[in-house]
A and B are shown apart, each in its own frame.
Chain A
Amino acid sequence: MKLLFEKSIQGRSGKYLSECDVPMLDLPSGLERETPPGLPELAETDVSRHYSALESRTFGINDGFYPLGSCTMKYNPKINEKVSSLPGFTGLHPLQPVDSVQGMLEALYLADTYLAQITGMDKMTLQPAAGAHGEFAGLLLFKKYHEERGDTARTKVIVPDSAHGTNPATASMCGMSVVKLPSGGDGCIDMEKLRAVVGPDTAGIMLTNPNTLGIFESNILEITKIVHEAGGLCYYDGANLNAIAGVMRPGDMGFDCIHLNLHKTFSTPHGGGGPGSGAVGCKDFLIKYLPGPQINKAGETYRFEASPQSFGNLLAFYGNALTVLRALAFIMAYGKDGLPRMSQHAVLNANYLKHRLSERFRIFNRGLCMHEFVISMEREAKEHGVAAIDMAKSFLDNGMMAPTMYFPLIVKEALMVEPTETEGKETLDNVADIYIRLYDEAMANPEAAKLFPRNTVIGRPDEVEAARNPRVRYK
């Protein structure tokens, strides 16, 4: 498919408005560019068709099953769009006087309040623009907390080996070092190993619960206690909140700080560039270090207040506000009774699909899983040459997105499946039938399985070449 730049025809334009009648203003000399920018010249129809063609080549949750484990690719309700596109919200400028944006502030304050209630935190910041950005904010809170107490030897962050890759990356970005904690045989935290690594250099622990294997860490109260007694803080990676939202609260598990991926659990757009939102919540004793101006309520008015001990800003303004509004619409539409049902259905769907697939596939989780489960293709890869990637590519050919592959790292040939609550039983049955048929076909003919996908826009990209010699710009 050609790029817009390649489709450009000199002199072509989509201009049909009358000539501008505002006088042109000349810039002071030296500020004007010497040559005009090399923008493509096309008619509006061509541009519109170009983007429609691009859209038809992508695959999203509106096209079909999208079980990307740990990513919670759920349907985005249209009510979210309706609320966030109200002109009273979209027409605002971030530097408008505070008394002219009271409605927006009230909405953001409400989102803050609800998210804090759902997670058991005392205050949120809506500023971080994505999950990893939120993690960064959370660890900066930890760092600031230790620094303010003169406890500067606390530079180590404990991260289980099943963690999301962003956790150790975040710790490094904050100038701390990572202590990798090997999981026990059941995929959960090994309590003896945890006791052995905590100490006066522990800044904190980063944990997801349920973990990336879809297993709930049943020792969670003991885990947070061990870290607290060693003087460290506990960070909850909210990527897997969809399993427990409305049912359990990380704050009650002993966590001091949390980030939420509003684009996962709270159904804001995801995967196409979002924009995302990595709202961060914390307990009382950390509020004074939160980034940026906080929205507070005084009587009936809302205002921005900056804490002198804040670690600073993470974005120019107040976060992706319209994204937060989508999440707020979702929370208010589901309500106090709907949110627990959402999580329960997410867990039910995962268990139903896991049960159906266990007819053929080996699944790491023994017993019940939470919102996701992990298939291991290790034996099939070793004995028959059918690897996780071969199965994943065959799914693409059958109108569905592949699960997350080769993650978590502690399971070999992993396929991590998270159906979410927004799939019906008919879809899950259909998916299970297709998975099982493709499995049988691949095992009967491993050579043919290497040729998938046959029907997608591109076949198997050369990932090694792409990583070794990336071409990152159009020439």
Chain B
Amino acid sequence: MNFPENLKYSKDHEWVQYTESGSALVGISDFAQSQLGALVFVNLPEVGETVEVGERFCDVESVKAVSDVYSPVTGTVKAVNEDLQDSPETINSDPYGAWIAEIEDITATDELMSASEYEAFCKEV
């Protein structure tokens, strides 16, 4: 299981990577994708939509179930990763490359964990 040091993690298993401009790329963790199994569909948010900490902003569908993805930050969707629409499996093969959305104008952030804290958190789940 991979927990890159340069990312922050939420207890709902999203990862956050801050960019130089202050926006944040958001995706789901390696642990999350392994729990969900092979993904077959990603329902992306819309650009310009506002998202809130702890609120559902996207859902991902595996063969077993549809699962909500919760936003780790409050802000506005600047961009979405359109490639995921045709190849949702990228989240399985490269969870930290497969960002879901870029959020800007961030006004609040969930209590996020470091890589080591998140790794310990996953062991307890």
A180 proximity list for chain B (CB < 8 A) = 68
Partner of B40, one of A165, A406, A467: A467
B40 proximity list for chain A (CB < 8 A) = 464, 467-468
Q: Which residue of A lies closest to B65 (CB)?
A: A409
B89 proximity list for chain A (CB < 8 A) = 468
Contact A406–B65 (Cβ < 8 Å): yes
B41 proximity list for chain A (CB < 8 A) = 467
Q: Which residue of B lies closest to A463 (CB)?
A: B63
Residue in B61, B66, B68 with the greatest tally of chain A CB atoms within 10 Å: B66
* Interchain nearest-CB distance for B67 vs A (Å): 8
Q: Which residue of B lies closest to A469 (CB)?
A: B40
Q: Which residue of B lies closest to A409 (CB)?
A: B65
A463 proximity list for chain B (CB < 8 A) = 63
Q: How far is the CA of A165 from the CA of B64 in the complex (A)?
A: 12
Instruction: Decide if B79 is an interface residue (CB 8 Å cutoff).
Output: no
A464 proximity list for chain B (CB < 8 A) = 38, 40, 63
- Categorize the interface residue count of chain B: 10 to 19
Q: For chain A, residues 387 to 420, give those with C-beta under 8 angstroms from any C-beta of chain B.
A: 406, 409
Contact A467–B63 (Cβ < 8 Å): yes
Q: Which residue of A lies closest to B35 (CB)?
A: A412
Contact A406–B38 (Cβ < 8 Å): no
Number of interface residues of A (CB under 8 A): 8
* Interchain nearest-CB distance for B75 vs A (Å): 21
* Interchain nearest-CB distance for A163 vs B (Å): 13
Interface 1/0s, chain A 38-62, versus B by CB < 8 A?
Answer: 0000000000000000000000000
Q: How far is the CA of A165 from the CA of B61 in the complex (A)?
A: 13
A467 proximity list for chain B (CB < 8 A) = 40-41, 61, 63
B38 proximity list for chain A (CB < 8 A) = 464
B64 proximity list for chain A (CB < 8 A) = 406
Residue in A165, A180, A409, A464 with the greatest tally of chain B CB atoms within 10 Å: A464
Q: Which residue of B lies closest to A168 (CB)?
A: B66
Q: Which residue of B lies closest to A388 (CB)?
A: B64
A165 proximity list for chain B (CB < 8 A) = 66
Q: How far is the CA of A362 from the CA of B89 in the complex (A)?
A: 33
Q: How far is the CA of A409 from the CA of B61 in the complex (A)?
A: 13
A468 proximity list for chain B (CB < 8 A) = 40, 88-89
Q: How far is the CA of A10 from the CA of B65 in the complex (A)?
A: 46
Q: Which residue of A lies closest to B37 (CB)?
A: A464
Interface 1/0s, chain B 58-78, versus A by CB < 8 A?
Answer: 000101111010000000000
Residue in A406, A409, A463, A468 with the greatest tally of chain B CB atoms within 10 Å: A468
Interface 1/0s, chain A 156-171, versus B by CB < 8 A?
Answer: 0000000001000000
Q: How far is the CA of A97 from the CA of B73 in the complex (A)?
A: 64
* Interchain nearest-CB distance for B38 vs A (Å): 4
Q: How far is the CA of A121 from the CA of B90 in the complex (A)?
A: 51
Q: How far is the CA of A30 from the CA of B77 in the complex (A)?
A: 53
Q: How far is the CA of A63 from the CA of B101 in the complex (A)?
A: 50
Q: Which residue of B lies closest to A468 (CB)?
A: B40
Q: For chain A, residues 100 to 137, give those with C-beta under 8 angstroms from any C-beta of chain B.
A: none
Interface 1/0s, chain A 179-223, versus B by CB < 8 A?
Answer: 010000000000000000000000000000000000000000000
* Interchain nearest-CB distance for A197 vs B (Å): 14
Q: For chain B, residues 91 to 125, give those with C-beta under 8 angstroms from any C-beta of chain A.
A: none
Residues of B within 8 A of A (CB): 38, 40-41, 61, 63-66, 68, 88-89
What 14 new A-B contacts, CB under 8 Å, besides A467-B61, A468-B88? A165-B66, A180-B68, A406-B64, A406-B65, A409-B65, A463-B63, A464-B38, A464-B40, A464-B63, A467-B40, A467-B41, A467-B63, A468-B40, A468-B89
Residues of A within 8 A of B (CB): 165, 180, 406, 409, 463-464, 467-468
16 pairs, A vs B, C-beta closer than 8 Å:
A165-B66, A180-B68, A406-B64, A406-B65, A409-B65, A463-B63, A464-B38, A464-B40, A464-B63, A467-B40, A467-B41, A467-B61, A467-B63, A468-B40, A468-B88, A468-B89
Q: Closest 10 interchain pairs by CB?
A: A467-B40, A464-B38, A463-B63, A406-B64, A468-B40, A409-B65, A464-B63, A467-B63, A464-B40, A406-B65
